[in-house]
Amino acid sequence: MHNTPTENYFGATLGAKVGPYLQAYWMAADLVCRILRGIVWPKIDLGIRLWLGGIFTASGVLKFANWQTALDLAAHEYPVSWMDPKTAAYVGVTIEVLGGALLAMGLTTRYAAIALLSLTLVSQISYLPFDNQLFWAALFGWFALWGAGLLSLDSLLRRGLAESPLPLVPSIIRASTALKLFSGPLYLSLLRVWFASSLLVVAVRPDLMASTVRLVLPLSAVALLPAPFEAIVGFFLLFGLATRYAAAAALAACSLGLVMRGEWENQYYVLTVLSMLIIHGAGRLSLDHWLGLSLARKLPQWTGRAPYALEGLPRIVIVGAGFGGMACAAALRNARAAITLIDRANYHLFQPLLYQVATAALSPSDIATPVRPLFRENSNVRVLLGTVTGIETTSQRVLLQDQAIPYDYLVLATGATHSYFGQDQWSRFAPGLKRIEDATEIRRKILSAFERAEGISDPLEQRRTLTFLVVGGGPTGVELAGAIAELARFGMEKEFRSFDPAASRVMLVQSAPRLLPSFPPKLGEIAQASLAQLGVEVLLGSRVENIDARGVVLNGSRLDAGTVLWAAGVKASPAASWLHTQPDSAGRVVVAPDLSVPALANVFVIGDAALSNAWHGQPVPGLAPAAKQGGQYVARVIKARLEHRAAPPPFAYRHFGSLATIGRKAAVADFGRIKLWGAPAWWLWGIVHVGFLVGMRNRLSTVVNWMWSYATFSGGVRLITGQDTAVASETETVAGSLDTPASRA
């Protein structure tokens, strides 16, 4: 169906004159509504349920404790004409206690609300009318149709029960969902009209406050403000016009009045209803709803509701779903732009805890979160699984294996990988730790070493098999060596018969004269002492000259080791070669003060892939907080360019401190003037790392696993997965490898 000339003229005129204002209004309202519904409402919903549930549960418990008094009240004070007093007392107390408790927990919320609604209506009609009972009825009706919010047992169990084999339960859940979708918005409109009618009656006909109208309208509760103000707010709410703004104005006025006149008994209910109208809007039967539909039909490109609304918007491509890329994408999710987030994995990985996966303390799922669900509510963000093979800067396209993605703004957050200082053949014998695949491979090597040692009768070969050597004395090497020592000494006792796992040899090799060079010397000494208490042998000032299947050559001497792990160096991703720019010695892209790449328009590099002297003139360290700060800063730069605003000041990295853990109760922490070690540093390390994990499930599972492991001295998920290549490695000829030229590692 084609538009008529009048409709075309209306659309063009409206777009030219009021379009920018409507666009700004729609964007602001949509953003505020998303924040309120997603973050604020679940907490308000929980508060309302706890509040009402507590009122009714307390009333029921008091009646049950004074049962004779409850019977006297049911017989004389508030009798129900169509029910025996004793039966009425039993039914009332049961509904109050059980219904109130279920409502507070958010378990079978709809059915508990229906029972409490029935009890409230009986009290209002058959006994004495009170304004608070009308509000109870309104709120119970809400929960009967809408159910409980996210912070409830119903929300937690709903998805699993909907797919369960329990009889009738999936059908009931589907019916409840349909009821909410179709009847919920209508009830919201009725709630708004009911509240608006109360305001108008009080403002226009105050003489009705003593009439039978008070059976259905809470007139005394809403008689708060001057009559003209109540009439204006009531008019806007009655027709559902600018509902959120009218409700917000009334909420502000009521809050001020509540502070000045705290004796108002029912004002908290008034504030609750106004909050519901602010967060959920006017409902389906309102001018706001119909104007919104008209605006979406006439101007879909401004509302962002149509599938084609992203056409013509600036295209932002972010490569890498690590700390920097995720921070940048999250900060841009509400920008008027089409965002594409590319990564070769479909999850965001919390790398600082990879070593715990490698030593079987945690499962990979504890520290990894799928990326796509994190942007489920952001229609302008597309997540793409793929491997970048190059970048065409002239045509502004990111090349994947099977397609090319055009961009207007490009953010590279591709991180770093292992560096073997030119001896890449060592990677076969000494895996590094950067990905989940690396962690599971290291876990396989460590656990397989113990399993193989059980069947070895030669003491020398068994000792070699149970020798674990970690190359690199930075935080990763220190944490990995300490975790292996703890696994051998505390996690496997009494599990093997031909050897004692505690007799395993764990060695940490460091070419520098001390451990943790990025930490103060005192903390490095403390870390070395803590490792020594765990039985780790620390070899300082030692350089690896060769690595093969049998062990390493260290300072010209042969050292047999069954498992060699690499934590000595990293190099940046090939971002510099993609951009055809000269990298630094570590392969990083040298960036400008705003983290952009010189001579390339709208191209930014952040995190481990970038060299930025934004730390008081020194290079920004390769830490998770630095990557996150860089991602958030680049998002601000891009937003400023999109909105034609002044650019933010140059990027300045704020260093909040460095942490490293050594075992189950020791860690070191450097916060500049403040330095911690031992148990206090360990607790701080645990709190910080749990806080940085993405997703509540990951945080809870990690805390539970830690508590169980540390309380019982039992290991985590000690599964050996993947192909075992140890036998093939053992048969390799390594005699010639001893004659190769020495190389620094």
**Residues noted as catalytic:** 479
The answer to whether the Cα torsion of 529, 531, 534, 538 is positive or negative is negative
Q: What tokens appear for 435 in the block?
A: 């990905």
Number of Cα atoms under 13 Å in the Cβ half of residue 193 = 12
Alpha helices by DSSP H, 81-168: 85-94, 100-105, 109-126, 131-146, 153-162
Alpha carbon of 464 to those of 503, 514, 551, 595, 675: distances in Å?
12, 26, 9, 48, 38
Q: What tokens appear for 729 in the block?
A: 């490695």
Q: In the block, which residue shows the tokens 């990025």?
A: 518
Reduced to 3 states, what is the DSSP secondary structure of residue 471? strand
d(CA 288, CA 648): 37
CB within 8 A of 73, min separation 6: which ones? Answer: 63, 89
User: What values do phi and psi take at 477, rounded to 5?
Assistant: -65, -40
Residue 660 and residue 527 in contact, taking contact as beta carbons nearer than 8 Å? yes
Q: DSSP code of 618?
A: B
Q: What tokens appear for 624 in the block?
A: 């998770």
207 bridge partner residues:
none
Kindly give the pairing relationship between strand 551-554 and strand 544-548. antiparallel
User: What values do phi and psi take at 659, rounded to 5?
Assistant: -135, 145
Q: In the block, which residue shows the tokens 């020592």?
A: 485
d(CA 220, CA 216): 12
**Would you call 363 exposed, middle or buried from its count of C-beta atoms within 10 A (0-12, 13-18, 19+)?**
middle
The three state secondary structure string of 219-252 is HHHHCCCCHHHHHHHHHHHHHCCCHHHHHHHHHH
Question: Which amino acid is located at 706 in the chain?
Answer: W
Reduced to 3 states, what is the DSSP secondary structure of residue 492? coil
CA dihedral 737, 537, 663, 658 (to 10 degrees): -80
The answer to whether the Cα torsion of 597, 598, 599, 602 is positive or negative is positive
- Which helix or strand (DSSP H or E) is residue 24 part of? helix 19-35
* Complete DSSP assignment for 157-222: HHHHHHTS-SSSHHHHHHHHHHHHHHHHHHHHHHHHHHHHHHHHHHHH-GGGGGSGGGGTS-HHHH
Of 8, 545, 55, nearest to 299 (Cα)?
Answer: 8
d(CA 425, CA 289): 66
Alpha helices by DSSP H, 562-719: 575-579, 624-642, 679-692, 696-712
CA angle 619, 540, 586 (to 5 degrees): 30
d(CA 142, CA 187): 7
Q: What tokens appear for 40 in the block?
A: 């604020």
Residue 37 and residue 280 in contact, taking contact as beta carbons nearer than 8 Å? yes
d(CA 308, CA 315): 14
d(CA 68, CA 555): 91
d(CA 248, CA 544): 69
Reduced to 3 states, what is the DSSP secondary structure of residue 404? strand
d(CA 266, CA 219): 11
Kindly give the pairing relationship between strand 667-671 and strand 658-661. antiparallel
